Amino acid sequence: MNRPHVPSNLPDPTNLMTEGWHCLHLYYKVDQAALASLSDSARAEGREHVIHTLNPDGEMATERLQVSIASGHRADIGLILMDPDPLKIDGITQEIRNSAIGPALQQSYSFVSITEISEYVPSVEQYAERLQREGTRPDDPAYEAKLNAYSQRLPAMNKQRMYPDIPPFPVIAFYPMNKIRVPGANWYTEPFSLRSELMAEHATSGIKFAGRVSQLITASTGFDDWEWGVTLWSRAPEHIKEIVYTMRFDKASARYAEFGDFYVSYAASAEDTMAHLRI
C-alpha cells in the first residue's frame, strides 16, 4: 500500500514485519466533564463512530481486536489490537481520538509489544534430550509417544504464539514484567542451561492451568519500558489469582521477575461497553 507520508527513500512501515504481529494494549478512562460538555447528537454520533471503529469484523479492524470493560480506577475500557501493520493499529487510536467523543476518552495506559517465540520453547530435539534427562529412555514406548505428540503440537503452538487467536474466555488480566538484573539475581548473567531449566519448571507449573487460563507473552524489549507483556484470559476470575499466585513460586518468577501494574477487564462488544459506561 502506498503511504503518502512515507518518504520514497524509506521502506513502507506496513511491510517491515518479517514474522509475527505488532501488539498494542491500550486502556482508556472516561473524562466525565468532557463527556458532559458534548451535545446529545455529538455524543450519539461519536459513540456510533467508536462502535463502528471497534467492530472486529469491520473494515478498519486489525487482525485481532478485543474490547473489554476494565475494573478499578486506572481504566474504564481495555483494547487489545494485533496486526502486521503498526499504522493500522495506530489508525484505530486516531479514529477514536478524532471522533466526537474523542475528547472524553483519555488514554490512561498503553503497552507496545510484538509477538515472539521464546528462546526457551524447546525444539523437538531439545524436547527429546529433556525426556532423556528426566529419565524416559528412548526404548520406552512412552518416549516415542511423547515425542510424536510434541512434534505434532509444536507447529500449532508456534502459530498461536506468533499469530494468536483470542480465546473465548471472558476474563482478561494484563501486566508487564521484567527479569531482574541485580547483584546476586541477574537473569542476564546466568548461563542458558540454567535459564532453560528454570523456564522448563515454569512451563510445568503453567501447564496445570490448561483449559482454564490461556496466556500470551508478547515481547517489548526495545518497544516499551518493560521486557514482556503478560496477557491472561480465563474462564473465571479466581483462575487468574490462582495462576499468578502459583507461578510466583516458580524460581524464574520468585527469584528473577518483577511486575508492573495489573489491569483486569471483562470482554465485551464495543456496543455493550459504551452502554455499560453510560456513554
Which residue in the set 56, 102, 103, 206 belongs to the binding site for ligand 76R (CB under 6 A)? 206
End-to-end CA distance of the chain: give it in Å, rounded: 35
Which residue in the set 230, 240, 264, 267 belongs to the binding site for ligand 76R (CB under 6 A)? 230
With b for 16 or more beta-carbon neighbours within 10 A and e for fewer, the 67-82 pattern comes to bbbbeeeebbbbbbbb
Shortest spacing between CB 140 and ligand 76R, in angstroms? 23
Query: Grid cell 470493560 — which residue?
Result: 69
Which residue in the set 65, 101, 105, 177 belongs to the binding site for ligand 76R (CB under 6 A)? 177
Whole-angstrom Cα distance, residue 181 to residue 187?
6
The residue with its CB nearest to ligand 76R is 206
Please, which residue, 99 or 265, has the CB nearer to ligand 76R? 265
Please, which residue, 7 or 191, has the CB nearer to ligand 76R? 191
By the rule CB under 6 A, 209 interacts with ligand 76R: yes
Is 28 a known active-site residue?
no
Whole-angstrom Cα distance, residue 258 to residue 205?
18
Shortest spacing between CB 151 and ligand 76R, in angstroms? 14
Shortest spacing between CB 167 and ligand 76R, in angstroms? 12
Helices (H), 18-82: 32-36, 40-53
Q: Is the dihedral of CA 247, 249, 252, 254 positive or negative?
A: positive
Could you tell me if 68 and 170 are in contact, meaning their C-beta atoms sit under 8 angstroms apart?
Answer: no
Binding mask of the shown chain, residues 239 to 258, with x at each position contacting ligand 76R by CB under 6 A = ----xx--xx----x---x-
Catalytic entry in 27, 175, 256, 263: 175
Whole-angstrom Cα distance, residue 213 to residue 234?
4
44 strand-pairing partners: none
Among all residues, which ones are annotated catalytic?
175
Q: Would you tell me which residues interact with ligand 76R (CB under 6 A)?
A: 118-121, 177, 199, 202-203, 206-207, 209-210, 213, 215, 217, 228, 230, 232, 243-244, 247-248, 253, 257
